[in-house]
Amino acid sequence: MPHITLPDGRQRSYDKPVSVNQIAHDISPNLAKVALAALVNEALVDTQSLVEVDATVKIITNRDAEGLTILRHSCAHLLAMAVKSLYPSAQATIGPVIEDGFYYDFAFERSFTPDDLIQIEQRMYELAKANLAVTRRTLNHEAAIKFFESIGETYKAELIHSIPTDETLTLYKQGDFEDLCRGPHVPNMGIIQSFKLMRVAGAYWRGDAKNAMLQRIYGTCWPDQKTLKSHLHHLEEVAKRDHRKLGVQLDLFHFDECAPGAVFWHPKGWTLFQQLIGFMREQQDEAGYVEVNTPDVMDRSLWERSGHWMNYRDHMFTITTEDERIFALKPMNCPGALALYAHGLRSYRELPLRMAEFGKVHRYEPSGALHGLMRVRHFTQDDAHIFCTNQQMQDECSKTISLIFNIYRQFGFENIIVKLSTRPENRIGSDENWDLLEDALHGALASLGIGYQINSGEGAFYGPKLEFVLCDAIGRHWQCGTLQVDLNLPERFDISFINEHNERERPVMLHRALFGSLERFIGILIEHYSGILPLWLAPIQLAIMSISEAQSEYAKTVCQQMKRAGFRVQLDVRNEKIGFKIREHTLQKIPYLIVVGDREQAESLLTIRSQSGENLGTFTQPEAIELLRANCNPLTPDLEASLR
């Protein structure tokens, strides 16, 4: 006689085992229609499951995160069913849920084409419309293998061989299609109404390059057509903003197989890169930093001492010299900063010592993980290492956090999520030290009134850290800056300072990155701004165009004056129609276009157009320079807004 407790505390009693579907119906017939599954004593089960003992029960619908996962998993089964119905010789292998969708891997004698995907998707909608009931059965290990071998699904049989023999297996069936799956699944396929197949890609069976190459069909699935359309629109916006595409269009950078995972910066891209470094130098100078530089290649012994050799060896590029010394290209800047600090005797009067470095680092990333500027093997970190006393530690953390927030806001990032990652299982140092360091980060955030999330066990092996996550213009999240506090590396490197009592004392070391990787941050900026960078940051700020050859000399004069005023300018006096020139420079996303014709030349005027195509008016040269200079600051509104 199970007693059922609902989320709101209400209870229901039954005189015999009861199905989840019946419980939902007793709560509300309308709830039963949309029920996908239930949490029974915190275990997720499908609606046909029986509740036989006292339990807490929460009915799951597509409004719940668990419901959306079930919907997508069931849609993967619908995809497999559609493929099997159209191409009976295809073998279905595995089909998990992924972020925003699902995929299913198939073994098939030929490659699926885009036309095939259209046909498969159409077949999926036909099968969903049939409203096929989904049923579950269990089989033992041997029976399940025999079943899948009997229907020619050898990959499924192989998969079962890797599952412990004492484990009972569940199979889910809709119509004439049956698949191996833990479940749960939707009660019937008619519930799945809003989905789309996206693309097909290659994938090795079980992720091993030694195995057969399969075909992976990706899809997305949502509770209704409105959210599906919204998601597809978001994907279109993401594609439009793709920094790899814009990097080529705007002539910023390229990649080459002669140096996989390393960026070839073009003049305009390198100008952007240097603008960021210049901006950061100004910010750090005001905040009391000194800039240093350490070697790119250092002896293995340094990395063993730091712990990186043990914890990060597989991601390091190494070289053995003729005298059999082993060196590594630095994957991090911190051991070099420690070696730099250790050179000479330090006094408490020097602390806090804030050493910034734009250090080139090299990390081996698998080829499949490389992704434009977002994931590279060779990049520049805007690192800083702050050496301070225990008494200064929390204040330095607060100052660093404030600096990070201030800098991000100058780029237009207002929504900043902070995550505090605490001690991992694999770590160095005493619990007493870890308590001290974690308390400093908690205290700094509290003093600034900044809310944060806890990432339990996700700290670095030498200290806890803060991660700063930015939300871009289309709602995506990017983890950029970090702040780590560390007493362990100072101990391993035996660094010290002479305190006010003339005694040696161990400093605290703060590891800080603001952009993180400059390459990655540039990729984020390109996508955040959709390639239309603010005036102060744009590689080319102004394009000066003559309407005809008659104004060429005047245009050249204006160009020189704008350059002397400090602007980055492109001159266009080609014998082309002005509409053609405007379109070309607009596509290059130059912030402002200056047009000079007969009137402008006669009266020493400039006509300014915005990147969006708005005519901002006609100005004298001094007026134009003043307006543009006022706009050439991260914290000022754009010129269009200021003129309204």
Residue ranges for the binding site for Zn(2+)? 334, 385, 511
Q: Which of 465, 528, 581, 585 is catalytic?
A: 465
What does DSSP say about strands 43-46 and 37-40: parallel, antiparallel, or unpaired? Answer: antiparallel
Q: Which of 105, 116, 383, 572 is catalytic?
A: 383
Task: Note if 511 is an active site residue.
Answer: yes
Separation CA 65–CA 119 (nearest Å): 30
Q: Which of 216, 363, 512, 589 is catalytic?
A: 363
Separation CA 183–CA 70 (nearest Å): 8
Annotated binding site: 334, 385, 511
CB atoms within 10 A of CB 592: 24
Q: Which of 185, 243, 385, 423 is catalytic?
A: 385
Task: Note if 334 is an active site residue.
Answer: yes
Separation CA 180–CA 93 (nearest Å): 9
Q: Which of 156, 185, 427, 511 is catalytic?
A: 511
Separation CA 390–CA 223 (nearest Å): 53
Task: Note if 231 is an active site residue.
Answer: no
Of 620, 611, 341, 631, the residue nearest 495 (C-alpha): 341
Task: Note if 377 is an active site residue.
Answer: no
Task: Note if 363 is an active site residue.
Answer: yes
Assign 16 to helix, strand or coil: coil
Q: Which of 334, 388, 397, 480 is catalytic?
A: 334
Rounded to whole angstroms, what are the CA distances from 119 to 80, 112, 197, 221? 13, 11, 10, 17
Separation CA 162–CA 33 (nearest Å): 38
What does DSSP say about strands 213-222 and 101-107: parallel, antiparallel, or unpaired? Answer: antiparallel
Q: 517 is written with which tokens?
A: 């990787």
Rounded to whole angstroms, what are the CA distances from 149 to 142, 144, 167, 174, 287? 11, 9, 19, 19, 69
In 394-489, beta strands by DSSP E: 416-421, 453-455, 465-471, 477-486
Q: Which of 381, 484, 551, 601 is catalytic?
A: 381
Give first-to-last CA distance, the chain, whole Å.
73
Contact residues for 175 (Cβ-Cβ < 8 A; gap 6+): 81, 127, 130, 132
Task: Note if 234 is an active site residue.
Answer: no
- Positions marked active-site: 334, 363, 381, 383, 385, 465, 511
